C-alpha cells in the first residue's frame, strides 16, 4: 500500500513537472513568436529605409529593442538550463535553444554594427537628393516666373502706368551750360524734420558741372524741372550729400510742395538679385529734351572705374541721360543711377550709346546709410509676375 502511494505520488510529481516544463516550453514558443514579430518589424523598417528612406532613428530603436529581447531570452534560457535535469529531453532542447540564441545575438550585433552605417549613408544620400531636387525646382520656378513676367510685361504694357512709375519721377537739372537728369525718390512729410520735403537722386558729376558753370547756383541753388500732368514745375535745388567715388549725389528741392510721382526704389534686400539679361529701362533728358525712355538689358555687373563698380546696360543713352534712372522693366523699380557713356577714340571721341554705366542701387543704399539718409529712398516690394491682364490686355 505504501509502495503504491509512493508510486502515485511520484507519478503526480512527474506529471506536475512535465506540465511545468510544457508551460515553460509554451512560454518560450510565445516569446519566440514575439521575437519573430519584432524581427519582422525591423526587417520592414530596413526595407522602408532602402526604398522610401524610412526614419533612421526608428530603425535603430527597433534594432536595440530586438537586441535587448534576444539577450533577455538568452539569460532566461541559461537560467532554465541550469535548473533542468541533465540528460533530459528538456535539457537537450534548452541547450540547443541556448546555442541558437547565442548565435542569434552575436549575428544581430554584427548586423547592427555593419548595417547602421549603411542605412545612414542611404538616408544621407536620399536627403541630399531631395535637397538637390528642391533647389532645382526653385531655380526652374524662378526662371519660369521671370519668363512669364517678361511675356506679361510685353503683352500687357499699360502706357499710363509706365509713364507714372518711370517717366513722371524723372526731373531735369539745369545750369547755364549744363543739363542733366535726376529721379525724385522722396516727396512728402519727412519724419525726422516733420516738414514736407522732396529729394532727387542724381549723379555727382552733373551737380559738379552745374556749380562750375553757374556760380550763383552755389548760394541760390540751381533749377530743377519737375514734370507734372499738364505742367512743368521749375524749382530750386541744392546738393546736401554726395559721394564722388560712386558718382552719386542727393539734391533737396527748395520747396514745400509735395509732388505726386516718386520712384519705387528696389528694396535693399533684393539688390543682389539683379543679373545679366535682366530687362531694363533707362529714363533721362538727353540733350535737354523732356524725359524719354529707352529699353535694353543688363550687359555686365562688373565694371570697375576709379575704385568703384558699375553696371553696364545696353539701353541707348546719350549726353544728358547722366543722373537719370535705370529701372527694372518688369517691376518698374529703380535699380541704378545712370552715370557715363562709353566713348571711342581720343581726337574726336565717338559715343557708344549702347554701352552705358550706371551706379548700382546697392552702392547708393550703402552711401546713404552712412549719411543716415537711407530713409529717403521710398521702397515697396512688388511681385515680378502680374498675370491679371493676360486674359484681357489693355486696349
Are the C-beta atoms of residues 335 and 361 closer than 8 Å to each other? Answer: yes
Lowest mean pLDDT among 49-63, 135-149, 186-200, 250-264: 49-63
Banded model confidence at residue 26, pLDDT cuts 50, 70, 90: low
Which of 55-59, 181-185, 266-270 is the most confident on average?
181-185
Mean pLDDT of the chain: 80
Residue 121 has pLDDT above 60, yes or no: yes
Q: Is the pLDDT of residue 1 over 80?
A: no
More confident site: 135 or 204: 204
Asked if the model's pLDDT at residue 6 lies above 90, the reply is no
Confidence (pLDDT) at 342: 85
CA 237, CA 184: separation in Å to the nearest integer?
12
Predicted local confidence at residue 393, as pLDDT? 40
pTM (predicted TM-score): 0.60
Residue with C-alpha cell 552745374? 210
334: nearest Cα among 268, 257, 252, 238: 268
| pLDDT score at 95 | 73
Rg (CA), the chain: 42
Express each pLDDT in 343-386 by its tens digit: 887 777 788 889 999 999 999 999 999 999 999 998 887 655 44
Closest to 298 (Cα-Cα) out of 260, 259, 355: 355
C-alpha span between 263 and 325 (Å, rounded): 9
Give the rounded percent of residues in the chain with a pLDDT score beyond 90: 47
pLDDT in tens, 267-297: 998 988 899 999 999 999 999 999 999 999 9
Predicted confidence band of residue 122 (pLDDT cuts 50, 70, 90): confident
What does the pLDDT average to over 302-313?
A: 94
**Residue 262 and residue 187 in contact, taking contact as beta carbons nearer than 8 Å:** yes
What's the whole-number mean pLDDT along residues 30-40?
57
Residue written as cell 528612406?
Answer: 53
Q: How far apart are CA 199 and CA 189, in angstroms?
A: 11
What percentage of the chain exceeds 70 in pLDDT?
Answer: 71
The cell for 333 is: 523699380
Q: What angle do CA 208, 180, 302 make, to 5 degrees?
A: 80
Question: Could you read off the pLDDT of 81-97 as tens digits, one per residue?
Answer: 666 656 566 667 767 77
Which numeric CATH code is attached to 161-376? 2.40.10.120
pLDDT of 241 > 80? The answer is yes
What are the domain boundaries of the chain?
A: 21-132, 161-376
Amino acid at each position: 500500500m505504501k509502495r503504491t502511494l509512493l508510486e502515485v505520488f511520484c507519478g503526480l510529481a512527474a506529471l506536475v513537472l512535465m506540465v511545468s516544463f510544457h508551460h515553460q516550453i509554451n512560454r518560450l514558443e510565445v516569446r519566440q513568436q514575439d521575437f519573430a514579430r519584432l524581427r519582422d518589424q525591423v526587417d520592414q523598417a530596413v526595407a522602408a529605409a532602402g526604398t522610401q528612406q524610412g526614419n533612421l532613428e526608428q530603425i535603430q530603436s527597433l534594432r536595440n529593442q530586438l537586441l535587448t529581447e534576444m539577450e533577455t531570452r538568452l539569460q532566461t534560457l541559461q537560467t532554465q538550463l541550469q535548473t533542468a535535469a541533465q540528460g533530459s529531453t528538456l535539457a537537450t532542447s534548452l541547450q540547443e535553444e541556448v546555442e541558437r540564441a547565442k548565435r542569434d545575438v552575436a549575428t544581430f550585433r554584427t548586423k547592427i554594427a555593419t548595417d547602421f552605417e549603411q542605412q545612414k549613408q542611404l538616408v544621407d544620400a536620399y536627403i541630399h537628393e531631395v535637397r538637390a531636387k528642391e533647389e532645382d525646382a526653385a531655380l526652374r520656378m524662378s526662371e519660369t516666373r521671370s519668363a512669364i513676367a517678361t511675356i506679361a510685361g510685353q503683352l500687357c504694357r499699360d502706357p499710363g502706368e509706365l509713364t507714372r512709375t518711370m517717366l513722371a519721377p524723372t526731373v531735369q537739372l539745369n545750369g547755364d551750360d549744363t543739363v542733366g537728369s535726376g529721379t525724385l525718390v522722396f516727396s512728402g512729410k519727412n519724419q525726422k524734420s516733420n516738414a514736407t520735403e522732396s529729394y532727387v537722386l542724381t549723379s555727382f558729376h552733373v551737380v559738379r558741372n552745374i556749380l562750375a558753370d553757374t556760380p550763383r547756383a552755389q548760394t541760390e541753388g540751381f533749377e530743377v524741372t519737375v514734370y507734372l500732368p499738364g505742367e512743368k514745375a521749375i524749382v530750386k535745388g541744392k546738393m546736401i550729400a554726395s559721394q564722388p567715388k560712386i558718382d552719386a549725389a542727393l539734391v533737396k528741392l527748395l520747396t514745400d510742395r509735395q509732388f505726386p510721382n516718386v520712384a519705387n526704389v528696389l528694396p535693399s534686400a533684393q539688390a543682389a538679385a539683379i543679373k545679366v539679361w535682366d530687362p531694363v529701362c533707362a529714363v533721362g533728358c538727353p540733350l535737354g529734351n523732356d524725359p524719354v525712355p529707352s529699353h535694353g538689358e543688363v550687359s555686365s555687373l562688373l565694371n570697375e572705374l576709379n575704385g568703384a563698380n558699375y553696371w553696364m546696360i545696353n539701353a541707348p543713352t546719350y549726353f544728358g541721360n547722366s543722373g537719370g534712372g535705370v529701372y527694372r522693366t518688369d517691376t518698374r523699380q529703380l535699380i541704378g543711377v545712370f552715370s557715363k557713356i562709353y566713348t571711342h577714340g581720343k581726337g574726336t571721341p565717338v559715343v557708344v550709346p549702347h554701352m552705358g554705366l550706371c551706379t548700382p542701387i546697392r552702392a547708393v543704399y550703402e552711401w546713404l546709410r552712412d549719411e543716415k539718409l537711407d530713409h529717403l529712398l521710398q521702397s515697396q516690394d512688388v511681385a515680378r509676375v502680374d498675370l491679371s491682364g493676360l486674359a484681357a490686355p489693355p486696349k
